[in-house]
Structure 1
C-alpha cells in the first residue's frame, strides 16, 4: 500500500471503545499517516457524543493535522477510504441484555459472545457485518476491513461464504488483553513476547510464551503463579469489578487443567453450572456496561458541551493499539505477528480444513499469512473445538438457509447447553425478541 495519507472510517463510531482506537491512531502517525478519520454509526446521538469527545481529545493531544468527521450516511462513510475498523453492535446493549437474561431463565449461560446468547448476537451481527462489507465493496473495494465485531468466528465464517474475496482481517483483542494483564501483574513486558496459541475465538489455549528479553518460555512460571493465586485486574479494566471474577475462574481452570494457559472465556464452556449459579438474572453484564462505560460516555460528552469536565483519562489498554498496529503492518508490509481468526486450511493439522480458527499469523500488504502449528493438537482440546465449531457452522447454515431446524441443531450442540429441550425453549423465545434483526427461520 503506497500512499502518503490514509483515510480511515470507524464503523460503530459511537461505541465506548472508540477513544482507545483514536488515541492509538494519534500516537501511530509515524507508521500510519492518517489524513482523515470518519465516525460512522446508525445511532446519530451516540455518534454525536463520540464526535464531541474525539474533538476534545484532539485539543488535549494537540492534534491539528487530521480531518475529523461523522456521518450516518454509508456512501459518505465508506467512499475513498483505505481502512474500515468495524466494531458495530447490532441491537445495542438493549438486545445484549436479552441475550444474557433469557438463557439464565432456563439455567443456561447468559453471555454476549458465548453460549446461546452469543448465538443470538451472532445471527444479528452476521447481517450487520455483511452490510458493512457490501458498503465497502460498493464504495471502496480496495479498502481493508479490520473487524472487531463479535462473535468473530461466526462472522468470519459468514463473510467467507458471502464475500470470499473481501479484504478483511478478523481479530479479537482478548488474547492481548490476557497477555497485558499477566504482564502487568508479574512484571513482564508483553511486547517482548512471542506467543503460541490455538483455538476458536474465545475458545483457545496458549502452548508457550517465549520472552525474547529473557531468552526462555515463561508460560510454565506464569501458570505456577496463576495456580496459586488469581491475578489482579489491570488499570485499564479497574472500573469493572467483573473482570476479577474472570481471573478467579482462570485460576480454577488451571488448577484442573495445568498444562496449557487457557483463554478466560473457556469458563463458560467448562464450568457453565458455576457461571449460572454465580450470575444475577436481574442484573447482568449488559446492565453493568449501561451503568458504567455507556453512562460515563454520555456524561463526558455532556460535560464537554457545557465546558465542565476533567481531563480525559488515556489508559485504554491494548484494544486500540492492536487494530491500529494491524493496519500499520498492512500499510508498511512489515509482516508483524498477530492472533487472527482465519480458515484453518491445515494450520492445525488434525482439525477440519474449513474450521475458522484463532492462531498466530503474519500480516502484510496481501493480508494474513497464518502460522502452522506443525503438530496435532490433543484430543481433549480437539473434541471441544470440533463440537463447538460444528455448532457454529450449523448456525451460519441457519442464517443463509433460513432454517429453524439448523438453528435448533446449533443451539443443541452448543457446548454450554445440556438439553435439546432447553435449547428449543430458548431459541423460540429469542426468535420473538429478535424479530426485527434475525432472518426468518422456516420450520
Structure 2
C-alpha cells in the first residue's frame, strides 16, 4: 500500500533541481513525498550524479524520509508516478547557443523562447514531450504532468492537442516573480499581493494588482517607469518604460514584453553582447560550471544562494506550491498554463493560455475574464497564431508550416529573412529534428 507520493523529474540533472528539492523539503509535512526519481539522458549522466548526490545530502540534513533515485531509464522511473515534472533541454546549452547566435548573425533577436529561438526550442522539444506522454499513458495514466520546460505554453498546448494526456499543467516563474517584484517594490509581504494574470506564457499581463484586496495598479505602473524599479529577471535587461505609454497600456507588462515593445533597444543590446562574444547561453554555461563545482562539495547540503543568478528565482516555490495545492485541493489562486476553455474569448478554445486559476485536486480552473483589453489583444493573438503554427510544424515536420510560423512572429521582419534563418537553423539543429528529414535529404 502506498504511503506517500512518487515524484518523477525528467531533466533531473538540471542546475535547477536543488530548488525543487528544497521546495519538497519545506512542504514535506503537508505534502508527503515518499520518493523522488531524477531522470536524465546519457549526455547528462555526470550532472545527474552531482545534483542527485546533493539532493541526497539535502534530504538527509533536513531529516525527512524522502528517497532520492537517479536513473537514465525513463520508463523505470515513470511506473506508478503521482506527479511527473519536466525541465529538460533538448540539445543542452549548445543548442541554446545556436538559437541565440544564428538569428543575431542576421540582425534578428536571438532569445531562447522568443522569435526564431523560441520556434526552434519548440521544434526540438515537442516531439520529446509527446513521447513522454505516450509512456505516461502506459505506465502512470493517473499522474499529473507538471511542465516547466520552455517554451512552456507551446509545450503544454502540444500535450493538450496532440496526446491523450489531459492532466497537464504548464508552469513558469514569471507570474510569481512579478508578484515578488511588486511586493519588493511596495515593501510588503508577498502574501499580501495578488495579480490578476491573463495572456500567454512569456506574453502574460497583470490586468490588475492588489495589496490586501485594494487595487494598486496605477501606483505600480507609475513606479516601474523608472529603470531602477523595473520588475525584471536575471536574463532580461531592464530598460524602464515611457510613462505615457505604460499609463495608456493600463496593464502591468511582464519582463518579456521588452522584446516586443522595446524591440530595437533589446536587439541592439543583444547584438553588442554578441559582438563581445557573449550570448546568454555563454553566460549560463559559466554560471552552470560554477554551480556544479559548488554542488560537488561533499559538505554542501543546502541550495546555494548563487543559484538565483541562473534566472530561476522562485522556481521551487511556484512548482511545489502548485503540487501542494492540487494534492490538498487548496483552491487558492495561481497563474498557470492550462486549456483556455473560453476563459479568454479571443483565444481558441483548445489553446493553452497563462491565466489566474483556482487550483483544485482536479486541476486548475481558469478564472474567465471575457476578453483581453483591446490595447493588448492584437499582439497576444499574433503570438498565439505563431504558437499554433509552431506546434503544427513540430508535429508534422512540414517545412512550409515552419516557415509560416517564423514569418508571422513579430520579431522577424520578412519572409525572406525568415527563410534564410529557418534554413540555417534547420541545418544546425538537424540532429534533434528527425521530423524534418525531408529538408535534410532534399536541401529545401
Distance (whole Å) between structure 2 residues aligned to residue 288 and residue 254 of structure 1: 32
User: Could you tell me which residue of structure 2 aligns to residue 360 of structure 1?
Assistant: 356
Distance (whole Å) between structure 1 residues aligned to residue 230 and residue 384 of structure 2: 32
- Alpha-carbon distance change, 382 to 154 in structure 1, aligned in 2, over 3 angstroms: same
Shift of 1:233: 8.2
Distance (whole Å) between structure 1 residues aligned to residue 420 and residue 285 of structure 2: 27
Query: Following superposition of structure 1 onto structure 2, how do residues 67-216 of structure 1 map, counting pairs within 5 Å?
Result: 67-212=67-212, 215-216=213-214
1:107 partner SS: coil
Distance (whole Å) between structure 1 residues aligned to residue 183 and residue 33 of structure 2: 30
2:328 pairs with 1:332: yes
2:257 pairs with 1:256: no
2:284 pairs with 1:275: no
2:11 pairs with 1:12: yes
TM-score scaled by length of structure 2: 0.90
Q: Aligned match of 1:414 in 402, 409, 412?
A: 409
**Number of residue pairs matched?**
425
- Alpha-carbon distance change, 253 to 205 in structure 1, aligned in 2, over 3 angstroms: farther
Shift of 1:311: 6.4
Q: Given that residues 57 and 301 in structure 2 are in contact (C-alpha distance below 8 angstroms), is that contact kept between their aligned partners in structure 1?
A: no
Runs of 4+ in 1 over 3 A off after TM superposition: 309-312, 314-317
- Alpha-carbon distance change, 270 to 233 in structure 1, aligned in 2, over 3 angstroms: closer
User: Could you tell me which residue of structure 2 aligns to residue 369 of structure 1?
Assistant: 365
1:37 partner SS: strand
Alpha-carbon displacement from aligned partner over 1:100-122 (angstroms, at most 9, x marks no partner): 00000011111000111111111
Structure 1 unaligned blocks of 5 or more: none
- Alpha-carbon distance change, 158 to 351 in structure 1, aligned in 2, over 3 angstroms: closer
Q: Given that residues 83 and 146 in structure 1 are in contact (C-alpha distance below 8 angstroms), is that contact kept between their aligned partners in structure 2?
A: yes
- Alpha-carbon distance change, 253 to 175 in structure 1, aligned in 2, over 3 angstroms: farther
Q: Given that residues 196 and 206 in structure 2 are in contact (C-alpha distance below 8 angstroms), is that contact kept between their aligned partners in structure 1?
A: yes
User: Could you tell me which residue of structure 2 aligns to residue 296 of structure 1?
Assistant: 290
Alpha-carbon displacement from aligned partner over 1:332-372 (angstroms, at most 9, x marks no partner): 11222111112323211244334422111112121121110
Alpha-carbon displacement from aligned partner over 1:59-114 (angstroms, at most 9, x marks no partner): 43333x11111001012211121111111111111100000000000111110001
Distance (whole Å) between structure 1 residues aligned to residue 38 and residue 396 of structure 2: 33
2:48 pairs with 1:44: no
Shift of 1:377: 2.4
User: Could you tell me which residue of structure 1 aligns to residue 54 of structure 2?
Assistant: 53
Distance (whole Å) between structure 1 residues aligned to residue 321 and residue 383 of structure 2: 30
Distance (whole Å) between structure 2 residues aligned to residue 378 and residue 195 of structure 1: 16
Q: Given that residues 124 and 394 in structure 2 are in contact (C-alpha distance below 8 angstroms), is that contact kept between their aligned partners in structure 1?
A: no
Q: Given that residues 19 and 303 in structure 2 are in contact (C-alpha distance below 8 angstroms), is that contact kept between their aligned partners in structure 1?
A: no
TM-score scaled by length of structure 1: 0.90
1:372 partner SS: coil
2:28 pairs with 1:33: no
2:343 pairs with 1:347: yes
Shift of 1:398: 1.4
1:262 partner SS: coil
2:365 partner SS: strand
Shift of 1:134: 2.0
